Amino acid sequence: MQNELQLTFRNMAHSDALSAHVTARAEKLEDHFDRIVACHVVLGLEGHHQHRGDRFAVSINLSLPKHEILVNHTPSSDHEGETAYAAVDRAFGDAERQLEHWVGQQREIRHTDKRRL
């Protein structure tokens, strides 16, 4: 990554292990596109339920040349009791899919432009 990863914890204590997990997932994004300008991840504890456990929200803001990818993973009833790690993995999975889609579009645009020459 051209700039360092920014990680913000909201309504929860900082965790070195969770920070390392987020860093590893962010570095994996560079397998799809190696010119990511910046990545800001916000991990927040949205609430706690006595029987269903903690609810985590994750947002990812990827800055690319002339483009931005925003992912918001909010807790839903389908994923109640999801760990912070699972919430991070789901959000980064969404970010990977969006990044792959954008990279594919860019390749298609370049290919089309070359054919016109």
Confidence band, pLDDT 50/70/90 cuts, at residue 113: low
Q: Give the domains, in start order, of the chain with CATH numbers.
A: 5-116 (3.30.160.100)
48-95: pLDDT as tens digits: 665 566 889 999 999 999 899 999 998 876 666 689 999 999 999 999
CB-based contact 68:39 (threshold 8 Å): no
To 10 degrees, the CA torsion angle through 34, 24, 42, 79?
120
Q: What is the pTM of this model?
A: 0.85
